[in-house]
Amino acid sequence: MSHEKQFYINGQWVEPKGDRTVDVINPATEEVVATIALGNEEDVNIAVAAARKAFDTYSQTSREERIALLERILEIYQRRSEEFAQAISLEMGAPAKLSKYAQAPSGTGHFAAALKALKEFEFEERIGNTLVVKEPVGVCGLITPWNWPINQLACKIAPALATGCTMVLKPSEVAPLSALLLAEVLDEAGVPAGVFNLVNGDGPTVGSTMSAHPDIDMMSFTGSTGAGRQVMKNGAETIKRVALELGGKSANILLDDANFEKTVAHGVMSCMNNSGQSCNAPTRLLVPNSRMDEVAAIAKAVAAKVKAGAPDAPDTTIGPVVSKAQWSKIQELITKGIEEGANLVVGGTGRPEGLDKGYYVQPTIFSHVTTDMTIAREEIFGPVLSIIGYENEEDAIRIANDTRYGLSGYVSSAELDRARNVARQIRTGMVHLNGAPLDNNAPFGGYKESGNGREWGHYGFEDFLEVKSIFGYYAEKK
């Protein structure tokens, strides 16, 4: 990476104002693969000033100009897709196949969805004699996580560009390489100077400076609920808009008429995917009490096929988790599950057999989990599944909603209408019926402590827009 110790500000690669750095660790080998600069308050101020100046002109660009810009970004991104896949595997340990076929393409998906939405979006509406206009919110502060790095970069940057906003980005310092690559793509595509700015740094320094900055109009944050709470507190002083996409503890309800062989297998693999590092992962598998042992046996057989290993190994199913700190947290929660009396079906503490280096976690499944156990309530963010029993459909809905989170949910039934009815009673921002996949054009986001606002598609535009009423706009001339 030629720019790893630089920031991208006002259309230029520039040197940081301070001298702090941090090593980027490959979680599969525990080796340093890059060293990036960490910004300070001065770096943020310079970037915000550039974004503020650029807003005056970029906010006035036409829909057609922004469409052309997104089309150029898409073309260049697709040309460099393999580089993104390699960077993501290197920085956060995703298996090569996952990086190539899911992680890197997520960027294409969000830029394409924003392009489609921009072509169709209604920025103006007439109500009587009033013109209601949706205008860009201003300078946006973007803070993104490490688990799906390009996915979260693209689903914030694309709508910001599409709606006429300017921005300052702080990607995760744990996985910053794909963000630096994306900055190169945006530069090559001709994003005007100051519209997009990147400052690497940590949360307490760069993140806090951004969220409290008086010249940042809106913060879009994806990460832990605790960190999101701090962003909201910091933003309160200036009454800035804060959009949050936070944690989850999603319930996967298998109704008694579901195909258990199929749905249990799908649920286990969905939980283990990306080493369990997805906020919307179905980490609570809710099944009839009478079929608990049957489900545990199916899940155990499926987990046996989940192979943790090096990202570049062809038979690897899941790679490592992202860091030593994350690995240690997961180990503590697995231990807590055992101590609190859950039945350990498979997995447990320590690395998988044959792996003595890297932050690898054993694919772990607990059965007979009760709702008061820590592993049933806390977001583990690793390849750990909790199987919880219910008595009837009403009990399943109650358990699904008995959480401070509300990001996603899953319902499987042989009768689609039955699944639909249950889905309407789950207090989450998203529900998947019978294994239905995500849709880049539909809104992504949650209830309760899973956040506020929505991302993706045309719904993702709303947080980046202010609404103005111009009364008398259509009044007859006198």
The residue assigned the tokens 């199929």 is 262
- The half-sphere exposure of 35 on its side-chain side, counting CA atoms within 13 A, is 4
Strand residue runs (E) in 348-453: 364-369, 384-390, 405-406, 409-412, 432-433, 447-448, 451-452
Question: Distance of CA 35 to CAs 1, 178, 179, Å?
Answer: 10, 14, 14
Calpha distance 58→54 (Å, rounded): 6
Calpha distance 375→345 (Å, rounded): 14
The answer to whether 231 and 254 have CB atoms below 8 angstroms apart is no
Tokens of 233: 């507190």
The answer to whether 155 and 455 have CB atoms below 8 angstroms apart is yes
**In terms of pTM, does the model score above 0.85?**
yes
pLDDT by position in tens, the chain (length 478): 578 999 999 999 999 999 999 999 999 999 999 999 999 999 999 999 999 999 999 999 999 999 999 999 999 999 999 999 999 999 999 999 999 999 999 999 999 999 999 999 999 999 999 999 999 999 999 999 999 999 999 999 999 999 999 999 999 999 999 999 999 999 999 999 999 999 999 999 999 999 999 999 999 999 999 999 999 999 999 999 999 999 999 999 999 999 999 999 999 999 999 999 999 999 999 999 999 999 999 999 999 999 999 999 999 999 999 999 999 999 999 999 999 999 999 999 999 999 999 999 999 999 999 999 999 999 999 999 999 999 999 999 999 999 999 999 999 999 999 999 999 999 999 999 999 999 999 999 999 999 999 999 999 999 999 999 999 999 887 6
The residue assigned the tokens 């980490």 is 283
For residues 301, 393, 408, 460, the Cα torsion angle rounded to the nearest 10 degrees is: 140
Packing angle of the helix pair 63-79, 104-120 (nearest 10 deg): 160
- Active-site residues, by number, are 245, 279
Calpha distance 300→191 (Å, rounded): 50
The answer to whether 109 and 84 have CB atoms below 8 angstroms apart is no
Calpha distance 178→84 (Å, rounded): 6
